[in-house]
Amino acid sequence: MLSDLSHFLADLPLWRADSAVLVGQQALLHIHTPHYVHLFDSLFASGPGPWLFGHINLPAGSRNLGDPEWSLTAPESRAPRVGVLMEVHRAVRLEDGKLMVLATALCRIRVRVRVLHCHQETPYSRAAVALAHEEEVLESHHADALREVLRRVPPPSSASDGAAAVADAMRLAATAAQAAASAAEWHWHGYEASTARAGAWVGRCPAEGTDPWDTRRLVTELVDHGVLSVLPFPDGPVIGRWDLEAVGRSAAEAAAAAAAATVAAELGGRGMATAAVEEISRGPLGSPEPTAAVAGGVSGAESRAAGGPLAAGSVVDALFAAGAPGAAWAESVRRSIDEADAPGAFGGEYRAYPAAEAPVPREQQPLPGSGDEAAQQAQGLGASSAAGGAERHAPGTSMTAPSVSSQDRLASSVEPGPEHPSTAPSPPDTSSPSPPPPPPPVPPDLLEGLTGHTLRDLLLLEARLWRELDSLAVLTASAHGRPLGLPLGLLQLRPSDDVAARQLAAVTPAAPLHPSGGTAGSQPAEGSPVSIGGAAEAVAGRGAQQLQEQQRRPQQQGQATAGAGRGAVPPLVHPASEGLDVYCHPDYPIQRRTRRLSYAAANVFLENHDFATRQELLECTSVRQRLIAVLCRAREAHRVLAALAAVKGLRPGK
């Protein structure tokens, strides 16, 4: 298991190519340029492994290396800085000295933008990188990080210093949350990448043949191994071969230790950091909630919503119960915690990035391969809305909203101004700059019921995506006469019906979600035979009858087809699984499951060489945003297949 590889990230070689790879995907790289052959030769000579490098998209590839326009450090650079961390598992040296490398994408990374973090740009790039965590992952660690800050930071001496102290505490908590998420990431890689590591070649890397025939044999073995678009879990179709509860506990302990060490290092130097790590290794922070929450997949705002460790200001009351300055500061911290717990708090202006690796302000970030941030907002990337975090995570690019025509997108993204005058121009407003144009709309039913409650939104979007995949499986069989053929690694991410119902019931508030949207009552009983889609809509209190009718149609089709034979065959519960009874491990955290689903499902709808869309998905800072993007793709595929099935029904025998 990779327990701590932070030293690799301080000086990581970067393979900058005109391609993009999603997390959990494998890539077969043909290394033929001399400078990249040198990169991998140096990597293999550095030690026995693991051999890690960064895969960063660079339009036009090596031709733009050294060009200031595509530099990693130039202020006006157009170079993408978000990519993936790759691990080499097989490599062969060809007869002419070139290399073939099989590598797996482990997680997202972001190149640090300061000049001192870029060690070289030619003949190939080397830079310091940081793991780029989505907002939902950072939020799951924020409560424990804030608790650690409050435990160590004394209250201010006067009430006038309270606001500054609260701001400093929140910034320090964001830094600690980043460190905690990174520490937990390494532990989960032991499970998520175990299939690829089991197939890695043992011994010298790269493998070299003793003669030309032996080299060709190695190349054939490498190619025949295959390149997986979605890396499967080691469980196969059987759940329980891995003790994920133990993995979750070790990841939670590592996260708590990293958060404590980060806070101690910021406050008192390296000596306190070492003591903090030793203290956390002996047990949780005064109570078992941090470990249990993270291991169970419900933490942060979710545990507080259920009366968790930060409910009712218990931490603040316990820490600072006496003294006027302390009471005033405690009240300020309470307000900050309430703001951090508000729906969508991590999807607005606040981003839980540490100060040392804070991203470039969005108004200064260039759009990869095009103009400025205004163009990026015109396409809907990173757009925000005040609607409870729902539209905030709904990108409106052509990739994510295919049902909207290009003319409609253009019309919706252009506001009257000097470059686009209207028929009746209004006087220019010189008091403040004009706001960015709104993004194109996303189908409203995809956003229905999203409230900004992190886990609930993730579970609802997950249910809707699986419902779309089930429908696509039925339509594919009707239109093309063949199964949809989803990869095993994708099917392993589907929670069982019971698990989905329990998890959604645990995070759904009992009060009405909207004044006109019904209540969240009538939750399905534990173990009831409601599909994941049905559980989602039943708990939300809407659309249950339509969902049952939609699910009954493919079952009736299966019964009619089977009834023509000797006996009726039970219908498939989930058409997309095609009879394979495989589900996700119940102890796999919700944030990680839905994040991996957002990447795995995207590969179903993307062309092999659609690297621009893959790069857009990589740069999504939210799992919800990426899930909505994939759902829009699924909707477009559903519309096309439905039309084909209708035409085929009108023309029997075709």
Q: Which residues make Cβ contacts (< 8 Å) with residue 336, sequence separation at least 6?
A: 166, 169, 170
| Token pair listed for 619 | 């740069």
Q: What is the mean pLDDT of residues 423-448?
A: 59
Over residues 607-637, the pLDDT tens digits come to 888 999 999 999 999 999 999 999 999 999 9
User: How many residues belong to the chain?
Assistant: 654
Superfamily the domain 6-132+194-225 falls into? LON domain-like (2.30.130.40)
Percent of the chain with pLDDT over 90: 38
Over residues 219-249, the pLDDT tens digits come to 998 888 788 899 999 987 776 688 999 999 9
Q: State the burial class of residue 43 (Cβ atoms within 10 Å of its Cβ: 0-12, 13-18, 19+).
A: buried
Higher pLDDT, 59 or 439: 59
pLDDT higher than 80, residue 208? yes
pLDDT higher than 70, residue 157? no
Work out whether strand 52-57 and strand 12-17 pair parallel, antiparallel, or are unpaired.
Answer: parallel
Q: Which residues make Cβ contacts (< 8 Å) with residue 227, sequence separation at least 6?
A: 26, 27, 28, 102
Residue 65 — very low, low, confident or very high, per pLDDT cuts 50/70/90? Answer: confident
| Span of 197-201, 386-390, 562-566, 620-624 with lowest mean pLDDT | 386-390
Closest among 654, 233, 244, 282 to 480, alpha carbons compared: 654
Q: What is the pLDDT of residue 597?
A: 97
d(CA 219, CA 201): 13
d(CA 620, CA 402): 18
Over residues 473-501, the pLDDT tens digits come to 999 988 888 899 999 999 999 999 999 99
Q: What is the pLDDT of residue 394?
A: 40
Over residues 142-156, the pLDDT tens digits come to 999 999 998 888 776
pLDDT higher than 50, residue 371? no
Higher pLDDT, 67 or 534: 67
pLDDT higher than 90, residue 557? no
Residue 115 — very low, low, confident or very high, per pLDDT cuts 50/70/90? Answer: low
Q: What is the mean pLDDT of residues 273-281?
A: 40
Closest among 347, 343, 348 to 452, alpha carbons compared: 343
Over residues 66-113, the pLDDT tens digits come to 788 888 877 778 889 999 999 999 999 999 999 999 999 999 999 886
Q: What is the pLDDT of the chain when averaged over all its residues?
A: 71
pLDDT higher than 60, residue 393? no
Q: What is the mean pLDDT of residues 439-453?
A: 81
CA–CA distances in Å: residue 103 to residues 15, 89, 106, 229: 12, 6, 9, 12
Residue entry with tokens 């990779």: 2
Q: Which residues make Cβ contacts (< 8 Å) with residue 270, sequence separation at least 6?
A: none
pLDDT higher than 60, residue 532? no
Residue 654 — very low, low, confident or very high, per pLDDT cuts 50/70/90? Answer: low
pLDDT higher than 80, residue 588? yes
Q: What is the mean pLDDT of residues 207-211?
A: 89
Nearest-10 crossing angle of helices 135-152, 162-192: 130
Is residue 129 within 8 Å of 110, Cβ to Cβ? yes
Q: What is the mean pLDDT of residues 461-465?
A: 96
Cis peptide before 288 (omega within 30 of 0): no
pLDDT higher than 80, residue 337? no
Q: What is the pLDDT of residue 355?
A: 32
pLDDT higher than 80, residue 527? no
Closest among 183, 185, 94, 174 to 139, alpha carbons compared: 174
Q: ∠ CA(419), CA(420), CA(425), 5° rounding? A: 110
Residue entry with tokens 């009746």: 424
Q: What is the mean pLDDT of residues 330-340?
A: 50
Residues of the chain with CATH 2.30.130.40: 6-132+194-225
Is residue 456 within 8 Å of 507, Cβ to Cβ? yes
CA–CA distances in Å: residue 116 to residues 74, 111, 126, 362: 12, 12, 11, 21
Q: What is the pLDDT of residue 331?
A: 52
d(CA 545, CA 542): 8
Q: State the burial class of residue 153 (Cβ atoms within 10 Å of its Cβ: 0-12, 13-18, 19+).
A: buried
pLDDT higher than 80, residue 12? yes
Q: What is the pLDDT of residue 236?
A: 75
Q: What is the pLDDT of residue 266?
A: 87
Question: SS3 for 398?
Answer: coil
Which of 224-233, 338-347, 565-574 has maximum average pLDDT?
A: 224-233
d(CA 145, CA 166): 14
Q: What is the pLDDT of residue 34?
A: 92
Q: Which residues make Cβ contacts (< 8 Å) with residue 61, sequence separation at least 6?
A: 16, 17, 18
Q: What is the pLDDT of residue 159?
A: 60
Residue entry with tokens 């500054």: 164
Q: DSSP letters along 462-508, please?
A: HHHHHHHHHHHHHHHHHHHSS-----HHHHTTPPPHHHHHHHHHHHS
| Span of 289-293, 443-447, 513-517 with lowest mean pLDDT | 289-293
Q: What is the pLDDT of residue 442?
A: 80
Higher pLDDT, 432 or 170: 170
Q: DSSP letters along 79-110, please?
A: ---EEEEEEEEEEEE-TTS-EEEEEEEEEEEE
Residue 343 — very low, low, confident or very high, per pLDDT cuts 50/70/90? Answer: very low
Percent of the chain with pLDDT over 70: 60
